[in-house]
Amino acid sequence: ATIGNGGVRMAPRLVESWTLADGTVHEADPVEPVQAMSSKTASELLRMMESTVDTDQGTGQTAKVDGYRLAVKTGTAEITGGTVSTVAGVVPADAPRLAVAVVLYNPKVGWLSSDSAAPLFGEGVTQAVRNLGVPASSEAADLYPIAPGQ
């Protein structure tokens, strides 16, 4: 989310307000944005993350969503007693509106994130952009060269 927000981190908040039995409404303290990285660094990272989806060498290919540019980071880790497969990213990469993460402990379909978490990420994002009316990407990606000589 920070990378998709131009390097600005917003602390997560689950509760906006609450109402007491007497009807008194209390609001949560405002969230202060923090510039966690430069916008130039965030833009370059977003470009790198998008290249994992849109190139033949990328591990995020199975997360693709028709009509949308995605920027994702895949990861597979061995843990005591099994495997964790993850995919986290933003959509659309050209104008981020959603940040989504999929974390699977001991996935039953493939242990690599490209075989398990990435397809689930794509299915979830497909439904989310449809349900929320997120506009499709309008420009082609400027991909980061991920192979020598590109």
Q: pLDDT tier at 145 (50, 70, 90 boundaries)?
A: confident
**Residue 105 pLDDT grade (very low, low, confident, very high; cuts 50, 70, 90):** very high
Average pLDDT over residues 78-82: 92
Mean pLDDT computed over 119-137: 96
Residue written as token pair 């843990």: 79
Mean confidence (pLDDT) of the chain = 92
pLDDT tens column, 15-43: 989 999 999 999 998 889 999 999 999 99
Return the amino acid letter for 41: T
Query: What is the average pLDDT across 66-70?
Result: 95
**For residue 148, pLDDT beyond 80:** no
Give residues with Cβ within 8 angstroms of 68, minimum separation 6.
Answer: 91, 92, 93, 125, 129, 134, 136, 137
pLDDT band at 150 (very low <50, low <70, confident <90, very high): low
pLDDT at position 147 is 67
This prediction's pTM: 0.85
